[in-house]
Amino acid sequence: MKTRHFKILSGLLLSSTVVLTACTSTSNQTNGSGNVSNTTTGNTATSQAQQISTFNFSLPEQIKWQQSKNLSKKNGGVVAEWIPQGTQLNNTQVRAIYQRLIPAVSNASLLQQIIRPLKKSCSDIRVTPFKAETSHAGALGQRVICSKLGKSPFGIVLDAVVMSDANASHLLISEVKTPASVKAGEIQPKTDKEKIALENTNKLISVMYASIQTARACDKNKQCR
Q: Which of 9-13, 30-34, 59-63, 188-192 comes out lowest in average pLDDT?
A: 9-13
Tell me, yes or no, whether 123 lies in a domain.
Answer: yes
Q: Domain residues for 181?
A: 6-17+67-214
Q: Is the pLDDT of residue 67 over 70?
A: yes
Tell me, yes or no, whether 29 lies in a domain.
Answer: no
The pairs formed by 123-131 with CB atoms below 8 angstroms and a separation of 24 or more are: 123/147, 123/148, 123/182, 124/148, 124/181, 124/182, 124/183, 124/184, 125/184, 126/10, 126/184, 126/185, 128/10, 128/12, 130/12, 130/159
Torsion of CA 208, 224, 168, 140, to 10 degrees: 50
Q: Give the CATH number for residue 107.
A: 3.40.1000
Tell me, yes or no, whether 111 lies in a domain.
Answer: yes
Question: In total, how many domains does the chain have?
Answer: 1
State the pLDDT confidence band at 3, using cuts at 50, 70 and 90: very low
Tell me, yes or no, whether 194 lies in a domain.
Answer: yes
Q: How far apart are the first and last CA of the chain?
A: 52
State the pLDDT confidence band at 32, using cuts at 50, 70 and 90: low
State the pLDDT confidence band at 33, using cuts at 50, 70 and 90: low
Tell me, yes or no, whether 93 lies in a domain.
Answer: yes
Tell me, yes or no, whether 135 lies in a domain.
Answer: yes
Would you say 187 and 6 are in contact if contact means Cβ atoms under 8 Å apart?
yes
pLDDT tens readout for residues 102-136: 999 999 999 999 999 999 999 999 999 999 999 99
Query: How far is 207 from 18, CA to CA, in rounded Å?
Result: 10
Tell me, yes or no, whether 60 lies in a domain.
Answer: no
Q: What is the DSSP letter of 209?
A: H
Percent of the chain's residues with pLDDT above 70: 78
Gyration radius of the chain over CA positions:
18
Summarize the confidence of residues 32-54 as an average pLDDT: 53
Query: How far is 133 from 48, CA to CA, in rounded Å?
Result: 21
Tell me, yes or no, whether 98 lies in a domain.
Answer: yes
